[in-house]
Structure 1
Amino acid sequence: MRVPRIYQPSPLATQQTLALDDDGAAHIGRVLRMGEGEQICLFNGDGNDYLAEITSAGKKSVTVTLLSCQANPSESPLNLHLGQVISRGDRMDFTIQKSVELGVNTITPLFSERCGVKLNGERLEKKIQQWQKIAISACEQCGRSVVPQIRPAMDLQDWCAEPSAALKLNLHPRAAFGINGLGQEHKRIRLLIGPEGGLSANEIAMTENYHFTDVLLGPRVLRTETASLTAITALQLHLGDLG
């Protein structure tokens, strides 16, 4: 049986005894119904895995003792920042979950001219918190021990204008070359993915002003969630650790 992986947002050290937070205790105690003497793996985002043994377990509280610490080598050599225009329904949830599994380091939700989602204030803040929890759950599932950051939502132009030494990419059906045409020296990427209706002509011109490179994915028009995951996969194959 695979050892369950649980995120704990606190400092961790070997020989430490601690009570899991409410989410972790509920999953171990009520969902998995694990008991004293069984082992789980904890991580807190520092890149390490901490093997722990359950010392007491109930439906509402679980206490563990940390046995060992080991570096987790699952991070890609490619640092990838996804700027994703917010999509409708559960498409954004899906994009965040799968992009974390594929190795993205940072995700910034974006608003654009054709963005069909209207969020602001408390509703937007709750949505950001929900997306961060999805990212954590994806790390628990896929074996990562560094949790990607879901940044506060931004206007598309503000994100494009941020200073960055990374190569900036924008998908465009009339681009001169695809991702395989990028040089192998690039290890930091900012990838822009537009909304369901695509970027407007003004927005495309704006990305050119901020020195984005247009790249081609293929001859077919892809949905926004398909485009992001296809582009991330292609980048990891070409510049990262897939293949």
Structure 2
Amino acid sequence: MRRFFINTPVSEIMAITGDDARHIAMVLRLTPGDRVLLTGADGKGCIAEITQANATLVQLKWLETVEDNTEPPLAVYLVQGLAKGEKMDFIVQKAVELGVYGIIPAATEHCVVKYDAAKKADRVTRWQKIAREAAKQCGRSHIPHIYPVMALNDIFANSEFASVHKIMLYEGQAAEGLKQVLAAGKKQACMLFIGPEGGFSSGEVNLCQQHGAKIVSMGPRIMRTETAALAALVSVMYECGDLGGS
């Protein structure tokens, strides 16, 4: 059964507009009587029946509530240094599939790409769309939020992340490995800092340490930024999430 997200809570009568409506009516060719799985803005899910479908509007009626929580028990935020080309698109898509809770694009000292304000907003809109599509495809019951592009100082100053356990992956010398830090104790939320192609500067490492972040290594080999992001996320989800089973 196809899954779609709506921007309102689940109710007796619901509507889908925009690109999703066109996809339902013109690509999937679903018609009145067909059923879909809906996830509302409140995170609750239901099975709904299509009552009207065209390229601009799909109307649906509630049939039954379903227990539909596919989210891992750990909220993982990925702070990803801006990567060039299509790497960020790839990271966003795969991170959503792996269960990331939110993604914060970070403008760091060694970023190759430099965006002005308009370009930053455009990129974030694009990444949010990719996240939404990936969440639909893999059966998520939550669409990860793509935050505005931030500097590291702004991330640490944001009260939303004050209690989140912070882990920076660094290719330099680190006293602990990621496995050791994860095994030290389970957390309800954690934040992974991944550098761009040029890695983090020593000043950025010091900044993270000053704000209580653990500086860790993932072994003796230097990974590409897109590899490091997904390898770290898989490791966290296996150790603390649901990739290792119940």
Structure 2 residue 68 is the aligned partner of structure 1 residue 68:
no
TM-score, normalization: structure 1?
0.92
Opposite residue 221 of structure 2, the aligned amino acid is R
| Aligned partner letter, 2:202 | A
- What is the aligned counterpart of 1:172 among 150, 170, 173? 170
Are the counterparts in 2 of residues 178 and 215 from structure 1 also a CA contact under 8 Å? yes
Task: Tell me which of 152, 155, 158 is aligned to 1:156.
Answer: 152
Aligned partner of residue 80 in structure 1, secondary structure: strand
**Partners of 1:8 and 1:21 within 8 A in 2:** no
Q: Which blocks of at least 5 consecutive residues in structure 2 are unaligned?
A: none
Q: Which residue in the other structure is 1:202 paired with?
A: 203
1:242 — aligned with what?
A: 243
- Give the structure 1 partner of residue 4 of structure 2: 6
Residue identity matched to 1:105: Y
What SS does structure 1 have at the residue aligned with 2:71? Answer: coil
* Cα distance in structure 1, aligned partners of 2:44 and 2:219: 38
Letter of the structure 2 residue corresponding to residue 32 of structure 1: L
SS of match in other structure, 1:132: helix
Letter in structure 1 aligned against 2:155: W
Q: Aligned-residue CA RMSD in angstroms? A: 1.6
Distance between the aligned counterparts of 1:24 and 1:94, measured in 2? 22
Aligned runs of 1:88-103 on 2, under 5 Å? 88-103=84-99
Aligned residue pairs, count: 239
Corresponding residue of 2:194:
193
Instruction: Show the counterpart of 1:107.
Output: 103
Identity of aligned residues (%): 38
Residue pair 1:114, 1:197 contacting (<8 A) in 2 also: yes
1:225 equivalent to 2:221? Answer no
Q: Shift of residue 69 of structure 1?
A: 1.8
What displacement does 1:161 show? 4.3
Q: Is the CA contact (8 Å cut-off) linking 2:205 and 2:215 kept in structure 1?
A: no
2:179 maps to amino acid: N
- Structure 1 unmatched runs, 5+: none
Distance 1:149 1:72 in 2: 19
CA–CA distance in structure 2, aligned partners of residues 148 and 59 of structure 1: 26
Could you say what secondary structure the match of 2:176 adopts?
A: coil
Is 1:45–1:145's contact at 8 Å kept on the other side of the alignment?
no
* Residue number in structure 2 paired with 1:77: 73
What is the Cα deviation at residue 76 of structure 1?
1.0
1:157 deviation in Å?
A: 2.6
Q: Which whole-Å CA distance do the structure 2 matches of 1:38 and 1:195 have between them?
A: 45
Distance 1:180 1:85 in 2: 22
Distance 2:92 2:202 in 1: 26
Code of the aligned partner of 1:176: A
Instruction: Name whichever of 92-101 and 164-173 sits farther off.
Output: 164-173
| Cα deviation code 1:7-44 (max 9, x no counterpart) | 2212321xx22332121211111111111211111113
Instruction: Give the drift of 1:133.
Output: 1.3
Residue 142 of structure 2 aligns to which amino acid in structure 1?
V
Given that 1:46 and 1:145 are in contact with CA atoms closer than 8 Å, whether structure 2 keeps it comes out as no
Residue in structure 1 matched with residue 180 of structure 2 by the alignment: 181
CA drift at 1:89: 1.3
Query: What TM-score do you get using the length of structure 2 for normalisation?
Result: 0.91
Aligned equivalents of 1:124 and 1:236: distance in 2?
Answer: 29
The alignment status of 1:39 with 2:40, answered yes or no, reads no
Letter aligned with residue 237 of structure 1: Y
- Sort the Cα spacing of 1:60 and 1:165 in 2 relative to 1 into closer, same or farther, 3 A: closer
3-state SS of 1:127 partner: helix
Measured at CA, do residues 35 and 116 of structure 1 come closer, stay the same or move farther in structure 2, by a change above 3 Å? same
Letter in 2 for 1:169: I
